[in-house]
């Protein structure tokens, strides 16, 4: 009798569990279907780039209108082409006077200075006079500046030139300027994700010109998957990353460049030379919960090159990276390796994982 009881109990428990798990599966399926019905997608153009939103929420349309308004608000503060933006005013008043700034402008400039210091100025938003000399600041047309011209503007690019107070900012010398192109999308993505969380959105993603931020998982509970582009061939990719609640940002010379006399000049500048960075990397992808940091670091690490980048990664705890090198290697840091599937063998890429 006792034996029967003890045998029966596990059997019943198993049946009960089976019943539970069937019900749970069914409930999960229904929830996923319900969520799928609440999918809202919008594509728009802002900050000089294509932006896409993919969120699940019954009030998705109204929420995405608020998201778009938030992006326009930030663009009106940060843009260097909108003449009354706070950053354009800061630049126009260089060497003249301090200008009033809002908390968000203070926030992004503070983080910009933080990353300039962290990367030994590989990330440097004060590099703007050189970006302009190459014609990358606006659509004014690209050109190769003379060495004399570069030498004359290089002293204007020190981050120390920016005096930042809580409510004001000042560029100390005429000709100094700030360009947030390397960080603004990441900063905006972080604020958009905060807003979506506030509105109760738990699943989805936003793509601000390729700066991807993910909320939660897919509706079936599995991770979001995204491709890391082959920088040599836009229709191809070198691998897939699985991620949840993280941001994935890629920088590469292939994203914006011009050609003159058979030489390609791209838009990420090495402040030490005044020339487009030539560090042996062709793309850098950063994975981090902090999209502002991912954006700043993807730009900076592209300038720094592989070895210096790995030194920084070993010191920091909150980001992982995937590098594509000029000599055909795809190099992943160990913290992302188990969520990265390398698929570049057919393109003759070689895959390596680096330990901390
Ligand atoms: P990203 O696409 O995020 O790598 O940013 C590239 C953009 O940042 C360029 O188009 C410039 O506007 C700006 N930029 C270029 N070089 C640098 C640099 N070394 N540090 C900070 N911003 C830069
Ligand atoms: Mg960047």
What's the confidence (pLDDT) of residue 24? 73
Encode pLDDT of 282-294 as tens digits.
999 999 999 999 9
Q: Is the CB of 268 under 6 A from ligand 1?
A: yes
Q: Is the CB of 271 under 6 A from ligand 1?
A: yes
- Which ligand sits nearest to residue 291's alpha carbon? 2
Element containing residue 152 per DSSP (H, E): helix 147-153
Of 28 and 55, the structure prediction assigns the larger pLDDT to 55
Contacts of 30 (CB under 8 A, 6+ apart): none
Tokens of 145: 């500046």
Q: Is the CB of 121 under 6 A from ligand 1?
A: no
What's the confidence (pLDDT) of residue 2? 40
Structure confidence at residue 317 as a pLDDT band (50, 70, 90): very high
User: Is 51 within 8 Å of 45 (Cβ atoms)?
Assistant: yes
Encode pLDDT of 205-216 as tens digits.
999 998 999 999
User: Is 175 within 8 Å of 156 (Cβ atoms)?
Assistant: yes
Structure confidence at residue 20 as a pLDDT band (50, 70, 90): low
Encode pLDDT of 155-189 as tens digits.
999 999 999 999 999 999 999 999 999 999 999 99
What distance separates the 2 farthest-apart alpha carbons in the chain?
A: 98
Residues 128 and 324: their CA atoms lie apart, in Å, by: 26
Residue 81 has pLDDT above 60, yes or no: yes
Tokens 């919960």, located at residue: 289
Structure confidence at residue 12 as a pLDDT band (50, 70, 90): very low
> What is the number of the ligand 1 atom nearest to the C-alpha of 211?
3
Q: At what angle do helices 184-198 and 103-118 cross, to 10 degrees?
A: 130
The preferred substitution site among 299, 303, 309 for testing ligand 1, maximizing ligand atoms within 8 Å of CB, is 299
3-state secondary structure of 40: strand
What's the confidence (pLDDT) of residue 345? 75
Residues above pLDDT 70, as percent of the chain: 93
The residue ranges of DSSP E strands in 231-289, in sequence order, are: 233-243, 247-251, 257-260, 263-266, 269-270, 275-276, 281-288
Helices (H), 38-102: 60-78, 86-92
| φ and ψ at residue 109, rounded to 5 degrees | -70, -40
**135-156 core/surface letters (b: 16 or more CB in 10 A; e: else):** bbbeeeeeeebeeeebeebbeb
pTM over 0.95: no
The preferred substitution site among 109, 179, 273, 301 for testing ligand 1, maximizing ligand atoms within 8 Å of CB, is 179
Residue 10 has pLDDT above 80, yes or no: no
Residues 134 and 150: their CA atoms lie apart, in Å, by: 9
Nearest Cα neighbor of 63 from 202, 186, 211, 210 is 202
Nearest Cα neighbor of 88 from 96, 99, 97 is 99
Residues 68 and 86: their CA atoms lie apart, in Å, by: 19
User: Is 40 within 8 Å of 61 (Cβ atoms)?
Assistant: yes
Residue 7 has pLDDT above 90, yes or no: no
Encode pLDDT of 90-103 as tens digits.
999 999 999 999 99
Q: Work out the mean pLDDT of the chain and round it to a whole number.
A: 91
Residue 21 has pLDDT above 70, yes or no: no
What's the confidence (pLDDT) of residue 5? 37
Q: Name the residues around ion ligand 2, CB cutoff 5 A.
A: 182, 295, 298-299
Residue 9 has pLDDT above 50, yes or no: no
Structure confidence at residue 253 as a pLDDT band (50, 70, 90): confident
**Candidate from 61-65, 167-171, 264-268 with smallest mean pLDDT:** 264-268
Residue 352 has pLDDT above 50, yes or no: yes
User: Is 312 within 8 Å of 118 (Cβ atoms)?
Assistant: yes
């Amino acid at each position: 009798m006792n034996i029967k009881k003890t045998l029966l109990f596990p059997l019943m428990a198993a049946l009960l569990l089976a019943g539970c798990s069937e019900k749970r599966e069914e409930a999960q399926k229904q929830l996923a279907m319900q969520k799928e019905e609440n999918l809202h997608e919008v594509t728009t153009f802002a900050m000089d780039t294509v932006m896409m939103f993919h969120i699940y929420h019954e009030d998705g349309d109204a929420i995405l209108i608020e998201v778009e308004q938030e992006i326009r608000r930030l663009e009106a503060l940060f843009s260097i082409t909108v003449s009354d933006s706070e950053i354009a005013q800061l630049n126009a008043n260089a060497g003249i006077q301090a200008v009033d700034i809002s908390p968000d402008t203070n926030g992004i400039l503070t983080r910009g200075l933080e990353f300039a210091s962290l990367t030994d100025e590989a990330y440097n938003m004060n590099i703007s006079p050189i970006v302009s000399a190459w014609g990358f600041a606006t659509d004014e047309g690209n050109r190769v500046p003379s060495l004399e011209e570069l030498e004359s503007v290089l002293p204007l690019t020190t981050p120390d030139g920016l005096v930042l107070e809580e409510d004001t900012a000042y560029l100390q010398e005429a000709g100094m300027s700030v360009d947030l192109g390397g960080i603004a999308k990441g900063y905006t993505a972080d604020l958009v994700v905060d807003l979506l969380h506030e509105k109760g959105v738990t699943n989805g993603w936003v793509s601000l010109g390729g700066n991807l931020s993910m909320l939660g998982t897919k509706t079936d509970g599995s991770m979001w998957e995204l491709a890391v582009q082959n920088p040599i061939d836009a229709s191809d990719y070198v691998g897939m990353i699985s991620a949840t609640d993280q941001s994935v940002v890629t920088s590469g010379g292939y994203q914006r460049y011009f050609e003159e006399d058979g030489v390609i000049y791209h838009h990420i500048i090495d402040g030490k030379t005044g020339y487009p960075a030539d560090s042996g990397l062709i793309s850098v992808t950063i994975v981090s919960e902090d999209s502002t940091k991912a954006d700043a670091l993807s730009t900076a690490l592209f300038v720094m090159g592989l070895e210096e980048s790995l030194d920084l990664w070993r010191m920091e705890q909150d980001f992982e990276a995937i590098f594509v090198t000029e000599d055909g290697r795809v190099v992943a840091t160990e913290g992302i390796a188990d969520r990265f599937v390398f698929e570049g063998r057919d393109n003759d890429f070689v895959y390596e994982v680096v330990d901390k």
